[in-house]
Amino acid sequence: MEKITKYLGDKNISFFISTRKDDMWRNDFDIGISYCYPYLVDTERDNRKWYNYHPAPLPKYKGVRCIVDALNNKVDTYGVTLHVMTNEVDEGKIIASKTFSLSSIPCDANELGCIAHYHLFQLFKETICDLHTLGEIEIKARK
C-alpha cells in the first residue's frame, strides 16, 4: 500500500485506499479501483465505474485461488490483468494485461504471487493515470 500511496501522491491524483468492505459505499471518490480486493463489489448498487487489478491472466485464472490454480498447472507463462468490475467474479471487460515468461516453474504460491505482484504494480503504474482521466470524463458526462 505504501508504494501505491506514494505513487498516487507523487502524480497528484486524489485517492482513497481502504481494506474494509464497508468503505466502498463512501461518497468521497468518483471511480473505484480494486487492487487485489478479494470481495465482489455490487456494481448495480453503485453508479461509479469500478476497475480491478487482478494478479493473474484473465479469463483463465479467476477468483482468489488464481495463483494456486496456476501453480497446480505448473505454468511457465503467467500474466496480470486490469478489467472493469461487474457483479460476476473477474468477468468484466479486459482493459489491459501483461504476460510474462517465468524462467522456471515457481516452487510455491508465495513465489508466483511475488512475481505476479511485481508485474501487477507495473501495470498499475502504466494505466492508473488513464483510468483517472477516464473517470473524470465519465463524471462530467453524468453531471
The lowest-confidence range among 14-23, 77-86, 87-96 is 14-23
Question: What is residue 111's predicted lDDT score, i.e. its pLDDT?
Answer: 94
Asked if 113 and 81 touch (Cβ cutoff 8 Å), the reply is: no
Prediction pTM value: 0.80
Question: What is residue 136's predicted lDDT score, i.e. its pLDDT?
Answer: 47
Q: Which residue carries 480494486 as its cell? A: 34
DSSP per-residue letters across 30-53: SSEEEES--S---TTT--S-EEEE
Question: Where do the domains of the chain lie?
Answer: 2-142
| Beta-sheet pairing, 50-54 with 94-101 | unpaired
**pLDDT digits 0-9 by tens, 10-44:** 877 766 666 666 666 666 666 778 888 777 777 77
Where does 2-142 sit in CATH, by number? 3.40.50.170
Does the pLDDT at position 131 exceed 90? no
Residue predicted with more confidence, 94 or 134: 94
Question: What is residue 7's predicted lDDT score, i.e. its pLDDT?
Answer: 78
Does the pLDDT at position 122 exceed 60? yes
